[in-house]
Structure 1
């Protein structure tokens, strides 16, 4: 199943830091921008970093033995893309909220996942499904 691209807007405290993080570290091509926002291409999806003075504190929910940050956003990658990104982030010294790992092992929803924060404290998850057809399996 191919899903259409999504659009997500989120707050950041510093556009230069957002540009370095999303464009530099994560490798997201930059689209349109102004002095208040920047569009990025996150694996075919449009995300928009909007300059904001403050954001609400995050919360956590327990999922498969981990405290998953809420809210969060990210992308579902191929296992190859996920491993390459995990390696790049680890080599760059990324501090993970949840280290790269496999969760729901042996279940239909088995997936590789990792969580980390951007420079403004936004939680990001990247995952890869063992079987991509099971993305929404119960």
Structure 2
């Protein structure tokens, strides 16, 4: 709304009208809310990867770029297998259980437990705009 203009706040905004000050504050609030919502969407969309990576960091303390790529690739592969496993029972009434499916289910349970722990820890932290 305001365009690319420099406003001086060094005098506590006394050099501009109240309306201009309100417009600036509304624009800043809008920009911050958009940035917050965008960050929240990204974090929510990739929460499983974050939890898998956090668990690996807890186990190893440091990881190389190659190790991170490998861990994330495995996490994405497991997630895709789980998505296909959910779709498969809809198409066929009884799917035979395989060791790979059991491993994927165990990995999913571990990831869910880690997510619950992380969510419980995060409850004490207030987000921006809340």
Same fold (TM over 0.5): no
Which protein has the bigger strand share? 1
Higher helix share: 2
Q: State the TM-score, normalized to the length of structure 2.
A: 0.22
Higher radius of gyration, 1 or 2 = 2
Higher relative contact order (CA 8 A, sep 6+): 2
